[in-house]
């Protein structure tokens, strides 16, 4: 991913202080929010799908991938579709993820969001190259936080951990990596359970008792 691919110019953007994210960990929370993250082919989606199945609740899968004219990417989407139980409901949310969550959230219901990585790409690096300015995508972040905070049902969110390698070339790519890292921190701070997937193995980072 480079500046041309993302259609982004170098921007100055606000840094969210660590204390802002940490304050949620000390709040009294009753929500059921599980955050599953990991690298590519770490098993995060399969683990999240198993958690949704194990909940024994009606499940709605929110897909954030935008369909593009790319055979390889289309094959990936098809693989995910084939693996999901046929009785799960499906919603697509390329930009307004918060709105979709609020629309379908209900007590006794499970929502699986897969994934924040592609959702952020929709905001910053859409196929048409017209990424949102910083104030607008930060507004979407805040709206998603609000929707998750007020959720009445069980929510499972999947995301990638992509910041463990070398610093990427290109200002736009670095912006994407930085913003995904900050978004992951914000969602993890809200979550009652956080799991890191490594080579198909779940590592518990946070439980309800430590929230």
Decide if 16 is inside a domain: no
Q: What is the DSSP string of 127-158?
A: TTS-PPPHHHHHHHHHHHHHHHHT--SEEEEE
Dist. CA 55–CA 73, nearest whole Å: 29
Task: Say if 23 falls within a structural domain.
Answer: no
Looking at residue 170, which CATH number applies to its domain? 3.40.50.300
Q: For the chain, percent helix, then strand, then coil, each to nearest 5?
A: 45, 20, 35
Residue 89, H or E segment? strand 89-92
Does residue 17 form part of some domain? no
Whether 80 is catalytic is yes
| CA pair distance 168, 127, nearest whole angstrom | 20
> Which residues contact residue 89 at a Cβ distance below 8 angstroms, ignoring those fewer than 6 apart?
58, 59, 60, 61, 104
Which of 12, 47, 79, 80 is catalytic? The answer is 80
How much is the CA Rg of the chain, to the nearest whole Å? Answer: 17
Q: Record the pTM.
A: 0.82
Residue 90 lies in a domain: yes
What average pLDDT does the chain have?
85
Instruction: Say if 72 falls within a structural domain.
Output: yes
Report yes or no on 8 lying in a domain. no
Torsion of CA 123, 128, 133, 139, to 10 degrees: -30
Q: Is residue 10 part of a domain?
A: no
Strands 201-206 and 193-198: antiparallel
Q: Is 20 a domain residue? A: no
pLDDT tens, 69-128? 666 656 666 666 777 899 999 999 989 999 999 999 999 999 999 999 999 999 998 877
E strand or H helix at 204 = strand 201-206
Q: Give tens-digit pLDDT for 23-38.
A: 444 345 579 999 999 9
Supply the pLDDT for residue 208. Answer: 84
Please give the DSSP secondary-structure letter assigned to residue 67. P
Q: What is the pLDDT of residues 64-84, one digit of tens each?
A: 987 666 666 566 666 667 778
Provide the number of structural domains found in the chain. 1
DSSP 83: H
Give the helix/strand (H/E) hosting 27: none
pLDDT at 91: 95
Q: Domain containing 145: what range? A: 29-192+202-210
């Amino acid at each position: 991913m480079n500046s041309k691919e993302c259609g982004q110019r170098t921007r100055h953007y606000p840094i969210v202080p660590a204390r802002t994210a940490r304050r949620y960990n000390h709040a009294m929370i009753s929500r059921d929010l599980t955050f599953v993250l990991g690298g590519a082919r770490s098993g995060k989606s399969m683990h999240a799908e198993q958690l949704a199945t194990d909940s024994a609740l009606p499940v709605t899968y929110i897909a954030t991938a935008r369909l593009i004219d790319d055979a390889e990417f289309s094959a990936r989407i098809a693989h995910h579709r084939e693996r999901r139980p046929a009785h799960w409901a499906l919603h697509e949310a390329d930009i307004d993820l918060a709105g979709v969550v609020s629309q379908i959230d209900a007590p006794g219901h499970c929502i699986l969001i897969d994934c924040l990585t592609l959702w952020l790409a929709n905001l910053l690096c859409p196929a048409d190259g017209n990424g949102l300015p910083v104030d607008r995508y930060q507004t979407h972040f805040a709206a998603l936080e609000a929707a998750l905070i007020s959720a009445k049902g069980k929510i499972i969110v999947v995301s990638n951990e992509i910041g463990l390698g070398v610093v990427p070339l290109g200002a736009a790519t670095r912006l994407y990596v930085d913003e995904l890292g900050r978004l992951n921190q914000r969602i993890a701070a809200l979550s009652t359970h956080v799991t890191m997937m490594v080579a198909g193995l779940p590592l518990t980072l946070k439980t309800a008792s430590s929230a």
